[in-house]
Structure formats: structure tokens, C-alpha cells
Structure 1
Amino acid sequence: MKPLCAGLVLLLAACVPVLQDVDPARPPEAGNWGPNPVAVEWWYVSGYLPDDGIAFHWAVFKGYFTPRLGPAFLGFLYPGPFHASHLAVTDLRAGRKLFDERFDFRQDAPRGDAVIEFPPLRIEQGDWRLVQEGASYRLVAGPLDVRLTPKKPAVVHPPGYSGTGEVGRMYYVSYTRLGLEGRINGRAVQGEAWMDHQWGEQLSGRDALWDWFGLHLSDGSDLMLYRVKKPPGAGQTDGEVVQLAGSRTDPQGRIAGLRNLRMTPLERWTSPSGRSYALSWRVEAEGLELELAPVRRDQELLTTSTGVAYWEGPVRGRGTWQGSPVEARGMGEFVAGTYSPVAMNLGTLLPGR
């Protein structure tokens, strides 16, 4: 029995992929948009189209069971990867929000039905897909059928990752401004969007929470703001901030970190589920003063596929950059944490973005 057991262990171990961690001394390449051998990875597209009264958010997540997740035997039984997709579309004129999701961890498809390939980038889960077509991308998911064309090159956000060693890190690259045209909810739309790719070892929603903004400014620049936190302890409203990171991509596509960044919550909102989110903010940095507020408050998403509760919605604001007035519009994302850690729905595996 002992040789048989040893052989079985070796066979199972051979099925488990070797996963990499984020190395803070080695920032990623801006052109890294393909799948990576990491515990958690996601691709994200969002847009606020004020002229059309539409906001949307689409994301696909890839993850593996690892010993850090526990119990370790799941990594042998289900070597993965596993996938989940989220889609939220808000009709701001009608005051309606659609949320839908896909996930491949189910009895009839235990090894998954998703496809992620590169190059060119091709992501599919069921009938949802993001496909690179030359210099553009086509996103088709539910009521979305849009073409996305980068207006600036992809960038690496300083210092190259979000998070810390304590809560986990994620490499971070973006297209901060893409032209968008197509159809949403059956009507023609056009405007601008934001596209992210993050990958690493952070168990988001469980070990790390965050407050995030992706903003387009009226002077042609773009801002990324990231406040990474520990989950709050008993009796706490908010968790300890372990990283504060921000970047500005100028109109020519050059990126630089924001110095002396401060993000101050101004107003909290309690969702119908009872969770509290800071939705209005004052942002200050060297050369920057900005106040931000939500366009619509009721934007909480309670996900079955990932078991994470988060707020995702359009924001706008105004302030100054280097003394000149600017207006801001874009999307905010605030992760409240896990709420349904069911082992068989990836509830403790994947993040809320």
C-alpha cells in the first residue's frame, strides 16, 4: 500500500501547476495581457457614458486552489484553473441596474468552459467574450456589443503592483483611455472606457479590501487611485490602510506616480444588504485637488460566483490640476469583503474585480 500511495501522491502533485508570486523588484511589462501562472488573475473593462446615460462593468477572473486557501487537497482534486465573469450595466436614465455572472465551477463542467489565449488576446466564457481584433478589442456580453480602441499605449502603474507582502500583491497594467462605440441595451453609444489586467497572489475580498478609482480628466489626463486595506476587525467600520497608490497618465500617454497622495472619505452609504461604503471622497496630491461623488448610490453587487460584495459604479467630480480647473468622470470600485464563502462556488478564491 505504501508504494501505491506514494505513486498516487506523485501523480496528483504532477497535476498541480507551479504558481509564481509577485516580485516587487521586477515590474511587469505593459504588454503583458495574456494569462500568467499565478494564483489569481483578472481582466476588467468599465465605462461611464454620460451622454448616453449608461455605465457598465465587465470582468473575468482566473484562479487556482492553493495551499494558502486550504484545505490543500483541493489543489490536487481540482487543479484548475477556474473562471468567473461579472457583468453590470446601469441605465442611469431609467434608474435600473442589471447584474449577471458566469462561472465554470459546477457539476456538469468541473474543469471549466472558459478560454483565455494570447496573442492576440481572446477571452471567452460561455457567450461572453473579449477578443482582440487588430488594434481594437470587441466586447460582447449580454446587452454589451462594443468596440474598444486604445487612445494611449498600455501603462504599468507605479510601483508596478498593488498590495503588500502582508495582504498579497497584484501586478497592474492598464489601458487608461479607450475610445468606445457600439450598442448597449439595443441603442447606439459612444464614449470612453478603461481596461485593466492584474495578476498575483492576493486573495482579494478575504485578505485585502480596497477603494479604487479609474478617472478621465477634462484636460486629457487619466488618474488611477488605489487604497488597499486589511479587512476591518470587530467593531470597525473600515480596515487599516496598508497601501496608498496613485498615478497620472498625461494626454501623451506618459505615466507618473502621484506624490504625497491622500484619499479622505467624506460620506458613507449603507446598502440594502447592510454594508457600509465610502462613496464621496476628497483626493489630494502634489498638484492635485479633487472631490468625487457617485452618480448613483445603489450600485452594490453581491456575487454568487466569487462570494464577494462590492460597489461598482460611475463617479464624477471637479477640482484642479497644477492650479487649472479640471472635471473628472469615471468608475469607482469599493470592495466590502466576502459574504458567502461556499467552498464549491469559488467564494474564497477569487476577487471582487
Structure 2
Amino acid sequence: MRLNLIPVMAALLLSGCVPVQSVVNTAQLPSATEYGAHANPMEWWYVSAYLPGEGLALHWAQFRVQDARVPVPLMISHVAVTDLRTGQLTFLEQPAGSGEVSSPPLRLRQGTWTLTQAGTGPGAPLSLRAGPLDLTLTPVKGPVLHPPGYSGSADTGVLFYQGITRLALSGSVNGRAVQGQAWLDHQWGNQIPGQTALWDWFSVQLEDGRDLMVYRVRRLDGTVAQLIGSVVEPDGHVRAVRGLRAEPGEVWTSPTGRRYTLGWRLVSDGFDLSVRAVRREQELLSRSTRIAYWEGPVEVSGTWGAEPATGTGMMELVSGSWGPASGS
């Protein structure tokens, strides 16, 4: 009976009851190499990739949720694969249950889904085996802490934010050999998706070797609590984006009636970029986290300084909570 209560309590935690918030001190930033688990209500590790040459886009997420009402941390995981040639979107979930996190080297496990680091050095490859994914991810750049080191604000809660913005990807998806580039994120803190904050997030890998991250954190009433951006240069150096603006464009209404902004203009002191969703029908309704969100590949074009710029990436737009029983 106790095990049967775990998924129920996880659902309450993620969609019905905001847990007691732990204190997150943004004046004490973590190391960029801090991949292990933390004593915070919310934490996740995330891998995404758009593989234009393969006609595929994918993401995997491992959530770790902690609350005083549950005796052990709960693990929840997602895998989504979009076949752009057929238009098929596959979304798989592992509901709340037990799992394992250890570091260094990093090892995550929930059931048979694993992310395993081969060593402790900055270039140590990672193996991701989750459902249809059997991938090797080899860092091209070192880990970074995205300036200012966290996403969110005092009223939305904050998540420390570090990861690797470019990894060489090889392996197979649904048994089909693939290769390309991936992105790895790790966040932890006291912000609860859909309950204390929503967001619009962009990861862009430019053809000139730069990587751009833009994060627009929204309060539940839609007002913007924080807009941040970072650039990771080809040599791995990270810097904050100055004078950043995120201007919404085309809006798409999903079959569930939710509205997602699928076209954007990202502007700063150094660039002027247009972001276009490759495919509209990318809304995901998660039964395990009770969150509705859009996640899919994007193509980027514009200028960087005085030069033309092009790139590809992924975009995540969090709409809010979702109740599978009612479909609302």
C-alpha cells in the first residue's frame, strides 16, 4: 500500500500542493561541474537534440522530487522523439518511483533508463539509454554555469542552472543509427513548474560554433519575472547576453486550446535572430508531472554583429498545469 501511495503523492507535489520551499541562496553559486543530486524540492537533468540530417528531434528528462511528506526522493522521467519525415511524435513517461543518483562520475537510473558518465574528467562521455534512445554523448565544450547562475526570481522560486551546451551525439534511435549534436542541462532549487513559474526556453547551436541560451521565466499571471541569456563561445568561454529582448511573433493554438508562441525575434547588443518552429504539433501532456508544454526543434537565422548567422536548436514553452482526468 505504501508503494501505491508514491505516485499519488508525487502528483500532489507537482500539480496540487506546492511543497515547503527550501532556501536557495543565489549569492552562493555552485560549481559548473556540480552534476550530483541536491537537497532541494525540485531537480532535473535534461538532454535534447535536433538532428536535421536525420530528420529527428528528441529530448530526455530525469526529474528528482523531494518533499518532507514523502520518505524518499521520487524519480520521474520523460522521453520524446519526433520523426520529422513521418510526422510521428512519440512521448514516453516513467511515473514516480524509486531511482538512483550518484556522482562523480554521474550515474542516473530509473528502472532500465540510465545516464552514465564514463569518467570524472571534463571530456568524459555519457551513455544515455532510455526507451528508444541508445546514445553516446561526448562533450565538445566544458561545463558552464549560465549567468547569473540561476533562473527565476524570489517570487517564482529559483533553479541553479549548469550544463554542457554542445556534445557530439552518436548511437541509435529506435534502432536507427544517428549522429549529430546534443545539449545537456542540470537545474535544481525551489521553483516548481506550473505551480510557481512558467517559462519560454531556447537552446541554439550556431554554425559558427557559438551556443546561445535564452530563458524567459514567467509568473502564473503571464508577467515576465526574468529574462536571461548566455553565449558559450567556440572555446567554451561563457558570458551573459547584454541588452536582451525576446519579442513574440506567431502564436499557435493547440488541439487542447492552449496557445504557444512558435515564432520569436531574439535581439541583443550583439545579435538579431529569428526563431521558427520546425513543426507546430509538439504539445506534450504529461501524466506523470501534470504539466502541459510544447517542446520541439527550431531553426534560427539573422545576424550576429555584421555577419549572417544560422543555427538550429530546441525550444520549450511551459503552458501550465494539466489534469488528465478532466483533460483540462
In the superposition, the TM-score normalised over structure 2's length comes to 0.90
Give the paired residue count. 303
Is residue 26 of structure 2 the alignment partner of residue 27 of structure 1? Answer: no
Deviating above 3 A after TM superposition, structure 1's stretches of 4 or more consecutive aligned residues are none
- Give, in angstroms, the shift of residue 231 of structure 1: 1.2
Q: Which amino acid aligns with 2:146?
A: H
- Give, in angstroms, the shift of residue 117 of structure 1: 1.0
Distance 1:38 1:341 in 2: 27
Distance 2:305 2:31 in 1: 30
Counterpart of 1:128 in structure 2 is 113
Counterpart of 2:38 in structure 1 is 36
Q: Which amino acid aligns with 1:27?
A: L
Counterpart of 1:348 in structure 2 is none
> Does the 8 A contact of 1:19 with 1:37 survive in 2?
no
> Does the 8 A contact of 1:63 with 1:80 survive in 2?
no
Distance 1:55 1:311 in 2: 13
- Give, in angstroms, the shift of residue 79 of structure 1: 2.5
C-alpha deviations, 1:240-286, integer Å up to 9, x for none? 00100000000000000000100011111011111100110001001
Counterpart of 1:299 in structure 2 is 282
Distance 1:19 1:210 in 2: 19
Distance 1:197 1:340 in 2: 27
- Give, in angstroms, the shift of residue 38 of structure 1: 0.6
C-alpha deviations, 1:141-193, integer Å up to 9, x for none? 11110100000000000000000000000000010000000011211110000
Distance 1:330 1:21 in 2: 33
Is residue 184 of structure 2 the alignment partner of residue 195 of structure 1? Answer: yes
Is residue 321 of structure 2 the alignment partner of residue 319 of structure 1? Answer: no
* Superposition pairs of residues 262-341 of structure 1, within 5 angstroms: 262-340=245-323
- Give, in angstroms, the shift of residue 22 of structure 1: 2.0
**From 77, 91, 99, the counterpart of 1:85:** 77
Cα RMSD after superposing both structures: 1.5
Is residue 196 of structure 2 the alignment partner of residue 207 of structure 1? Answer: yes
Q: Which amino acid aligns with 1:26?
A: Q
Distance 1:208 1:91 in 2: 30
**From 112, 132, 138, the counterpart of 1:143:** 132
Flag structure 1 segments of 5+ consecutive residues without an equivalent. Answer: 1-17, 66-74, 105-111, 233-238, 343-353
Distance 2:210 2:180 in 1: 15
Counterpart of 1:6 in structure 2 is none
Q: Which amino acid aligns with 1:282?
A: R
- Give, in angstroms, the shift of residue 340 of structure 1: 2.0
Aligned-pair identity (%): 51
**From 179, 182, 186, the counterpart of 2:175:** 186
C-alpha deviations, 1:84-120, integer Å up to 9, x for none? 101100000011000010023xxxxxxx321111111
Q: Which has the larger radius of gyration?
A: 1
Counterpart of 1:115 in structure 2 is 100
In the superposition, the TM-score normalised over structure 1's length comes to 0.84
- Give, in angstroms, the shift of residue 211 of structure 1: 0.2
Distance 1:296 1:79 in 2: 42
Partner-residue secondary structure (3-state), 1:51 = helix
Distance 1:20 1:208 in 2: 16
**From 72, 87, 102, the counterpart of 1:95:** 87
> Does the 8 A contact of 1:42 with 1:199 survive in 2?
yes
> Does the 8 A contact of 1:291 with 1:318 survive in 2?
yes
Flag structure 2 segments of 5+ consecutive residues without an equivalent. Answer: 1-19
- Give, in angstroms, the shift of residue 20 of structure 1: 4.6
Counterpart of 2:3 in structure 1 is none
Counterpart of 1:50 in structure 2 is 52
- Give, in angstroms, the shift of residue 341 of structure 1: 8.5
Distance 1:142 1:57 in 2: 12
- From the superposition, tell whether residues 19 and 241 of structure 1 become closer, same or farther in structure 2 (CA, over 3 Å): closer
- Give, in angstroms, the shift of residue 293 of structure 1: 0.5
Q: Which amino acid aligns with 1:47?
A: A
**From 210, 227, 244, the counterpart of 2:227:** 244
> Does the 8 A contact of 1:155 with 1:175 survive in 2?
yes
Is residue 229 of structure 2 the alignment partner of residue 258 of structure 1? Answer: no
> Does the 8 A contact of 1:130 with 1:137 survive in 2?
yes
> Does the 8 A contact of 1:211 with 1:332 survive in 2?
yes
Partner-residue secondary structure (3-state), 2:53 = coil
> Does the 8 A contact of 2:57 with 2:296 survive in 1?
yes
Distance 1:292 1:326 in 2: 12
